[in-house]
Amino acid sequence: MIGLATQVERGSVVIAIGGVAVRVNTADADFLAMLEERYAGFVTAETGADARAEFDFDVELVPPAFADPDADLSVAYRSGRWFMQRGDFRAELDPASRRGCIRQSANPYSIDAVLRITHTLVLAKRGGFLLHSASAIRNGKAFLFAGVSGAGKTTISRLAPPDATLLTDEISYVRKIHDSANGESYVAFGTPFTGELAKLGENTSAPVAALYLLAQGPENRIDPVTTSDAGRELLANMLFFAEDSEMVHSAFQAACDFVSRVPVYRLTFVPDARVWELIG
């Protein structure tokens, strides 16, 4: 029967962000190499089909010829599966088997979006979230700097002193940790999701000490924020894609829990390094 079937050799890479490992399988060696380079530092040492991962995606590469490349993102839960779709990709994830598939062209942006969506879905169930914020570790504690585009996430990252470890300049990864000794707390992890700085965060983590809501002004200062304002602003900066009611409620409760436990301040700063004298 030789010649009747051709077995396609598939390669795999396991990308672990925030302690959640996602295996990506592809038959395209160039795409695999691109993933290994793009997520360097977050690719686990274990590779191949035997590497342990929480989620498994098969990537089918297609020519970049979708009907509408600028179509909006939609994430919907139907018949026990998550369906993710944007102008440049279509993906599905079965949360029960933890297997999914992605149909996209050979580019790094589509799979990056699928990874972000997958992590928001995972985190929402576990009391955590992805946040539009820079984050860094200083003196063993993590600090988050949240704000919309232009608020200063890249600037505060660029101004970070040498003793600060940058976790991300764009998308922070926050997990709720249950500890029998300390109860519930929050830990920030490094991410490969970059902003203008185009520099991957360090793949490390630390307990979250504070969230700063960024504002630019004539002086460096820290002001208190009411819990309700903190909750509103945290929700406004959270990445959340699903329109599923249960997931929305989970995200809402995660935000409320976070601001009830973690100090939140408004950080007004001028763009110079002295602002870091107020941090840590």
Partner 1 sequence: MNKKIYIARSPRIAARMLGQEMLVMSGQGSTLFTLNPTATILWQAADGATPLDQIVEHRICTEFQVQPEEALRDAESLAEDLAKHGILQISDQPIPKPVASVHSSQQPESQPESQPRSLKR
Site residues (CB under 8 A) for partner 1?
A: 132, 226-228, 230-232, 235-236, 238-241, 243-246, 248-249, 251-253, 256, 259-260
- Minimum distance between the CB of residue 14 and partner 1, rounded to whole angstroms? 27
Residues in the chain: 280
Are 251 and 129 a contacting pair, CB within 8 Å? yes
Q: Which is nearer to partner 1, 52 or 261 (CB)?
A: 261
Rounded distance, CA 165 to CA 135, Å? 9
- Minimum distance between the CB of residue 204 and partner 1, rounded to whole angstroms? 25
- Minimum distance between the CB of residue 22 and partner 1, rounded to whole angstroms? 20
Q: Which is nearer to partner 1, 179 or 243 (CB)?
A: 243
- C-alpha dist (Å) from residue 230 to 40, 213, 244, 255: 34, 8, 24, 9
User: Amino acid identity of 106?
Assistant: A
Given the structure tokens 């630390």, which residue do they identify? 206
Q: Which is nearer to partner 1, 261 or 274 (CB)?
A: 261
Name the token pair of 33. 């190499």
Rounded distance, CA 274 to CA 260, Å? 29
Q: Rounded to 5 degrees, what are φ and ψ at 93? A: -140, 125
Rounded distance, CA 115 to CA 207, Å? 23
Rounded distance, CA 193 to CA 257, Å? 25
Burial class (CB in 10 A: 0-12, 13-18, 19+), 100: buried
Q: Which is nearer to partner 1, 22 or 242 (CB)?
A: 242
- Minimum distance between the CB of residue 226 and partner 1, rounded to whole angstroms? 5
Any bridge partners for residue 165, and if so which?
A: 137
Q: Are strands 81-86 and 141-146 parallel, antiparallel or unpaired?
A: unpaired
Q: Which is nearer to partner 1, 97 or 228 (CB)?
A: 228
Q: Which is nearer to partner 1, 139 or 227 (CB)?
A: 227
Among residues 18, 40, 267, which one has the least CA distance to residue 155?
267
- Minimum distance between the CB of residue 252 and partner 1, rounded to whole angstroms? 4
Are 165 and 150 a contacting pair, CB within 8 Å? no
Q: Which is nearer to partner 1, 102 or 131 (CB)?
A: 131
Q: Which is nearer to partner 1, 53 or 84 (CB)?
A: 84
- Minimum distance between the CB of residue 248 and partner 1, rounded to whole angstroms? 5
- Minimum distance between the CB of residue 237 and partner 1, rounded to whole angstroms? 9
- Minimum distance between the CB of residue 231 and partner 1, rounded to whole angstroms? 5
